[in-house]
Amino acid sequence: MEHPPERRRFKAGSLVFSPNDPADAAYLVLSGEVELSRDGTSPRDLEVRRPGEMFGEMAIVNDRPRNAAARAVSDCELLAITRAHVSERIEVADPLLRFCLGALLDRIEATQRGGAGPNSIWTAHAAAARDIISFEHELRDGIAGGQLDLYFQPIVRLAAGRLAGFEALVRWQHPKRGLLQPGDFIPMAEKYGVISSVTTFCLRQVARHLPALQAAASSNLAAVERLFLSVNVSGLDLLQPAFAAHAVSILAEGNVKPEDVRLEITESILLTDAERCARTLEQCRDQGFRIAIDDFGTGYSSLHYLNALPISVLKTDRSFSQALLAEPSGRTILGAILRLGRELGLTVIAEGVESEAQADALRSMDCDFGQGYLFGPAREHGATLQLIRDWRATAFDPAARTMLRA
Ligand code: C2E
Ligand code: CA
Ligand code: CA
């Protein structure tokens, strides 16, 4: 946010502004008195502004020159409020408030300039707020109407080939736009501050589906471990102090233990409010959740947070798996991350494993877990149950793999 409104002092008798001066600010009188008049001299149309009152407020609406004069009657102190100050605050206001204020100020501005001319900044505020409001409604309707679904992508213990867990990835079957991938709506949900409704939806689905997935796993103990589910959590979730308790209570509805759930966060959360996020993550850890850093190595330049946050899992970004065999330094870089993880006592999951050759290389480097199209894409709950029952800890069927990747 810009610097706060500045205080301006005026001696008794001096002019604050005259007719035709550029209008740079509205004034709130803090002390003293100011008189307003059409030409700065005529006593007939004088109006007086006292402490707590405002004048020159048309400067908030637009930058048309002054059409009156303001003179300090006594020594006075004024707070100068600019259009930028107001605009910045409206930008972060509740969308409904932003829409109403934007539309009202736009209307006043249009009346001032006689209706024609370019759109004002207020038009832009009203339009942006309208987009947020309609997206919020669409998302709320989508969740309530069963249009969102959770897909599950397998995570495999590389050495043994056993199935260890899944990452939960959301999809939106939109009535007008068709099947939406997370990239089509998650960034917007984060930008508009409504991502928590998606996270709550995911946790509810985990509570609903994990028991059945674990039951399927217990019928195939030779190839499947006690399954965990990994859920993507946003920085905005972690800014809510009650997030850990909220997550626990949702999972309890399905008798799911936090110990079986991992929360994936990206390094970018540290750019929001690292201390508050760290506190929430500590509460999550205390409740039994394990915390994973997602897309490790792509975002933040400092490694300090590996000590500062209660992390127990590193997920290496898929670009590292791609570079592993394709670039000379690929193996060196991933090897360094694996050593770092081991020395810090962290579990490492390599994302984006697409070929048997990559899986072999990762196994030879003692990487714990792999996730990627080689082991299968994210799929619906029913298909996931089938996958668990059919999982074999030995080699994968290349034909099936090709099919799954399509
Ligand atoms: P992510 O957490 O890094 O998820 C992994 C993404 O990589 C998934 O894309 C997955 O389909 C894709 N992927 C998996 N294996 C491979 C592979 O072998 N090769 C390649 N090229 N890609 C692979 P998806 O499902 O489109 O998700 C994209 C991103 O959307 C996720 O990235 C995550 O950041 C976000 N996301 C997904 N679901 C949720 C959610 O429920 N909540 C939040 N906050 N974010 C979510
Ligand atoms: Ca993830
Ligand atoms: Ca990732």
Express each pLDDT in 157-174 by its tens digit. Answer: 999 999 999 999 999 999
Q: How confident is the model at residue 328 (pLDDT cuts 50, 70, 90)?
A: confident
Distance 112 CA to ligand 1 centre (A): 50
Distance 352 CA to ligand 3 centre (A): 8
Q: Hey, whose CA ends up nearest to atom 7 of ligand 1?
A: 352
Distance 118 CA to ligand 2 centre (A): 44
Q: Find the range with the poorest average confidence among 132-146, 310-324, 383-397.
A: 383-397
Rounded to 10 degrees, the C-alpha dihedral 107/111/113/114 comes to 130
Q: What ranges make up the beta strands (E) of 309-398?
A: 313-316, 347-350, 369-371
- Using the predicted structure, report yes or no on whether residue 364 has a pLDDT greater than 80: yes
Q: How confident is the model at residue 116 (pLDDT cuts 50, 70, 90)?
A: low
Q: How confident is the model at residue 118 (pLDDT cuts 50, 70, 90)?
A: low
Which residues are near ligand 2, the ion (C-beta closer than 5 Å)? Answer: 232, 264, 294
Mutational test site, ligand 1, from 151, 232, 353, 373, max ligand atoms within 8 Å of CB:
232
Mean pLDDT of 331-342: 94
pLDDT of residue 39: 65
**Contact between residue 158 and residue 361 where contact means Cβ atoms under 8 Å apart:** no
Mean pLDDT of 263-277: 87
pLDDT of residue 269: 80
- Using the predicted structure, report yes or no on whether residue 262 has a pLDDT greater than 80: yes
pLDDT of residue 401: 45
Q: Find the range with the poorest average confidence among 27-31, 123-127, 198-202, 272-276.
A: 272-276
Q: How confident is the model at residue 268 (pLDDT cuts 50, 70, 90)?
A: confident
Mutational test site, ligand 1, from 351, 369, 401, 404, max ligand atoms within 8 Å of CB:
351
Q: Hey, whose CA ends up nearest to atom 34 of ligand 1?
A: 232
**23, 206, 240, 400 from 284: Cα distances, Å:** 52, 16, 12, 38
Residue 252: CB atoms within 10 Å:
12
| pTM: predicted TM-score of the whole model, two decimal places | 0.82
The minimum-distance atom of ligand 1 relative to the CA of 150 is 41
Q: Hey, whose CA ends up nearest to atom 35 of ligand 1?
A: 182
Q: Name residues contacting ligand 1 (CB within 6 A).
A: 153, 169-170, 181-183, 186, 195, 198, 202, 232, 234, 264, 294-295, 318, 352-354, 372-373, 378
**Contact between residue 254 and residue 215 where contact means Cβ atoms under 8 Å apart:** no
**264, 267, 285, 353, 363 from 313: Cα distances, Å:** 9, 13, 12, 17, 17
Distance 182 CA to ligand 3 centre (A): 12
